[in-house]
C-alpha cells in the first residue's frame, strides 16, 4: 500500500475505531425487561379451549376474580405472541364422539378469534405467527392432544389439518389403537403395541406430508423412539419436562432429550408442579387413591349438569386437591428449562406451559402475565439475549419452519412419481388401513 494512502486510511479509521470502542464500553447489556419485550414468545400448550367451549369464556371479559391462566390482558402483560390452543377430547366422556368433540373445540377457537379480530388472529404457519406479531395480536394456533381424535382415519387427520390444526400428540394419557401412551402402560386391561404400529407410522408420515408437527408429549418411551425413527421432520414435545429432575413418566429422560436434539426438534417445558418438582410429585402421588376417588365423586355428581357448571366444579375440585400440597418454588420450573438447555442444547428448549390444564403451578407463576419472570430468572443464571430469545420462541419457529419445508418437499416428490418408493417397500401384513402415500393424493 502507498505510504500516504496508508496514512490517510489511518487518519480516517483511527477516530472511528476509537468511537467503536467507546460505544462498546458504553453499551449496557439489555435488561431482562428489554430482552423479554423484544422477543417473539410462543407457548405451545394451553387448555383454555375447554373454557371457551364449555364455560363460554370470553378472553376479553374474564369474570371478576377469575383464576384462569390465559386471557387477553394476561397475555399482553406477559408479551405472549402466540398460543397453541389444545384440542383435547376426554376419551371416556366422549367415547364414540371423538370427532364431534374435536370439531366443537376447533370451532370454539375460531369463534373467539371472530369475536375479537382486533386482539387475536388465527395462525396456521410461521408466516402467520410473524404477521400477527407485527400487528400486536395474539396468534392463535391449534394442536390436537391425543391421536384418538382421528378415530383411526387418515381422512380425519387431513380434515383437521385443513381446519388449521398444526400439531398432534400421538397419544394423550390413553393408548389408542396405534400408539402406546405413558399414561396407562401399567393397566393390563389396555391393549398395548410395544410402541407405534405400522398404521401409527403411516399417521406420522401423513403428518410429515401435511406439515403437521409430530408431538411426542404423553407417549410411552417406546412410542417416542419409534416416532423419532419414523418421522422425516423434526418432532416437538409440546408440554414435557425433564425426568432426571422430576421422576414422572410424562417427563423425558436425558437420553430422550439428546435424541430430540439429534433429530433437530424442540422440547417445550411444562409448568405443572407435579412435573417440575420432585417433592411435590411424591406428595401428590401419595394422595393418588384418595384424590382420584374424591374427584370421581365430583364427576359423577355433575355429570348431567350444564357444561359450564360441570367444568367449573371439576376444575375447582382438582385445584383444591392440588392445593393440599404447598406450591413448589419458581426455581423448580427454571431448573427444568436450564436442564433441557444443558442436556439437549440451547437450540432445543422452549415453553409449553399447559396453562388451564394443570391444577397447580410453581409459586409466582399464576398466569401468562408472569412469563417475564422466566426471562428475569434466565438472565440471573447467565443466559444472554440471543439464548433467551431462542427459548422464548426462536427454537420453536425454527422447528415449525423445518416441518413446513419437509411438507413442501414430500408433496413435491409425490408430484414426481419416479421419486416415490414403490408402495410394497413400506407395506406390512398387519396394516388394515390404506397406505398414507397412496391415500393422500390430492389433499
Ligand atoms: Zn397434556
Q: How far is the CA of 321 from the centre of ligand 1 (A)?
A: 19
At 169 the three-state DSSP class reads: strand
Q: CA 267 from chain center: how many Å?
A: 8
Would you say residue 84 has pLDDT above 50?
yes
Of 160, 60, 94, which is closest to residue 307 (Cα–Cα)? Answer: 94
Q: How far is the CA of 181 from the centre of ligand 1 (A)?
A: 11
Q: How far is the CA of 279 from the centre of ligand 1 (A)?
A: 21
Q: How far is the CA of 273 from the centre of ligand 1 (A)?
A: 13
Q: How far is the CA of 162 from the centre of ligand 1 (A)?
A: 23
- Within 10 angstroms of residue 405's Cβ, the number of other Cβ atoms is 12
Cα(88)–Cα(155) distance, integer angstroms: 19
Q: How far is the CA of 439 from the centre of ligand 1 (A)?
A: 30
Q: How far is the CA of 88 from the centre of ligand 1 (A)?
A: 8
Of 264, 225, 277, which is closest to residue 344 (Cα–Cα)? Answer: 264
Give the mean model confidence (pLDDT) for residues 120-134: 98
Give the mean model confidence (pLDDT) for residues 150-154: 98
Long-range contacts of 130-136 (CB under 8 A, 24+ apart): 130/40, 132/81, 132/82, 133/40, 133/81, 133/82
pLDDT at 416: 73
Q: At CA 261, angle to CA 255 and CA 263, rounded to 5?
A: 105
Residue 418 banded pLDDT, cuts 50, 70, 90: low
pLDDT at 28: 85
Would you say residue 19 has pLDDT above 60?
no
Would you say residue 226 has pLDDT above 90?
yes
Arithmetic mean of pLDDT over the chain: 91
Q: How far is the CA of 37 from the centre of ligand 1 (A)?
A: 28
Residue 251 banded pLDDT, cuts 50, 70, 90: very high
Of 89, 117, 116, 114, which is closest to residue 103 (Cα–Cα)? Answer: 89
Cell of 141: 394456533
Q: How far is the CA of 354 from the centre of ligand 1 (A)?
A: 7
Would you say residue 25 has pLDDT above 90?
no
Would you say residue 172 has pLDDT above 50?
yes
Q: How far is the CA of 218 from the centre of ligand 1 (A)?
A: 7
* Residue 242 near residue 261 (C-beta atoms within 8 A): no
Q: At CA 407, angle to CA 391 and CA 434, rounded to 5?
A: 125
Q: What is the pTM of this model?
A: 0.88
Measured CA distances, 123 to 85, 139, 322, 329 (Å): 11, 6, 34, 34
Q: How far is the CA of 47 from the centre of ligand 1 (A)?
A: 8
Q: What percent of the chain has pLDDT over 70?
A: 88
DSSP character string of 100-141: HHHHHHHHHHHHHHHH-TTTEEE--SHHHHHHHHHTT-EEEE
pLDDT at 419: 54
Q: How far is the CA of 238 from the centre of ligand 1 (A)?
A: 8
Residue 121 banded pLDDT, cuts 50, 70, 90: very high
409, exposed or middle or buried, with CB in 10 Å at 0-12, 13-18, 19+? Answer: middle
Q: How far is the CA of 355 from the centre of ligand 1 (A)?
A: 10
Give the mean model confidence (pLDDT) for residues 406-425: 74
pLDDT at 368: 98
Q: How far is the CA of 141 from the centre of ligand 1 (A)?
A: 16
Q: How far is the CA of 272 from the centre of ligand 1 (A)?
A: 10
Amino acid at each position: 500500500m502507498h505510504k500516504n494512502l496508508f496514512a490517510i486510511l489511518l487518519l480516517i479509521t483511527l477516530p472511528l475505531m476509537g468511537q467503536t470502542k467507546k460505544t462498546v464500553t458504553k453499551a449496557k447489556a439489555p435488561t431482562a425487561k428489554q430482552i423479554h419485550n423484544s422477543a417473539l414468545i410462543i407457548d405451545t400448550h394451553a387448555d383454555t379451549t375447554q373454557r371457551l367451549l364449555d364455560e363460554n369464556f370470553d378472553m376479553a371479559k374474564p369474570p371478576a376474580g377469575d383464576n384462569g391462566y390465559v386471557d387477553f390482558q394476561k397475555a399482553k402483560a406477559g408479551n405472549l405472541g402466540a398460543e397453541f390452543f389444545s384440542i383435547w377430547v376426554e376419551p371416556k366422556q366422549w367415547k364414540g364422539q371423538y370427532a364431534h368433540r374435536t370439531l366443537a373445540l376447533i370451532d370454539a377457537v375460531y369463534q373467539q378469534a371472530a369475536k375479537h379480530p382486533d386482539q387475536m388472529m388465527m395462525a396456521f404457519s410461521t408466516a402467520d405467527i410473524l404477521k400477527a406479531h407485527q400487528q400486536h395480536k395474539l396468534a392463535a394456533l391449534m394442536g390436537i392432544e391425543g391421536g384418538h381424535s382421528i378415530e383411526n382415519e387418515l381422512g380425519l387427520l387431513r380434515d383437521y389439518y385443513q381446519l388449521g390444526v398444526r400439531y398432534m400428540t400421538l397419544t394423550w394419557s390413553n393408548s389408542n389403537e396405534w400408539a402406546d401412551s405413558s399414561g396407562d402402560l401399567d393397566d393390563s386391561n389396555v391393549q398395548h403395541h410395544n410402541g407405534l404400529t405400522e398404521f401409527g407410522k403411516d399417521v406420522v408420515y401423513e403428518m410429515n406430508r401435511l406439515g403437521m408437527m409430530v408431538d411426542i408429549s404423553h407417549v410411552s418411551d417406546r412410542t417416542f423412539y419409534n416416532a423419532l425413527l419414523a418421522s422425516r421432520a423434526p418432532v416437538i414435545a409440546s408440554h414435557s419436562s425433564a425426568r432426571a429432575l422430576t421422576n414422572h413418566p410424562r417427563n423425558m429422560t436425558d437420553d430422550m432429550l439428546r435424541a430430540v436434539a439429534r433429530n433437530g426438534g424442540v422440547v417445550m417445558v411444562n409448568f405443572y408442579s407435579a412435573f417440575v418438582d420432585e417433592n411435590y410429585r411424591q406428595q401428590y402421588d401419595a394422595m393418588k387413591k384418595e384424590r382420584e376417588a374424591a374427584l370421581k365423586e365430583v364427576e359423577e355428581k355433575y355429570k348431567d349438569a350444564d357444561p359450564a357448571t360441570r367444568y367449573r366444579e371439576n376444575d375447582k375440585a382438582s385445584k383444591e386437591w392440588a392445593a393440599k400440597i404447598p406450591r413448589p418454588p419458581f426455581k423448580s420450573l427454571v431448573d427444568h428449562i436450564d436442564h433441557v438447555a444443558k442436556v439437549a442444547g440451547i437450540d432445543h428448549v422452549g415453553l409449553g406451559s399447559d396453562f388451564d390444564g394443570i391444577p397447580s403451578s410453581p409459586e409466582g407463576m399464576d398466569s401468562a402475565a408472569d412469563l417475564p419472570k422466566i426471562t428475569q430468572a434466565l438472565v440471573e443464571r447467565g443466559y444472554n439475549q440471543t439464548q433467551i430469545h431462542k427459548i422464548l420462541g426462536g427454537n420453536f419457529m425454527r422447528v415449525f419452519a423445518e416441518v413446513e419445508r419437509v411438507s413442501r418437499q414430500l408433496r413435491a416428490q409425490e408430484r414426481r412419481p419416479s421419486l416415490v418408493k414403490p408402495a410394497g417397500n413400506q407395506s406390512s401384513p398387519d396394516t388394515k388401513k390404506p397406505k398414507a402415500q397412496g391415500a393422500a393424493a390430492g389433499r
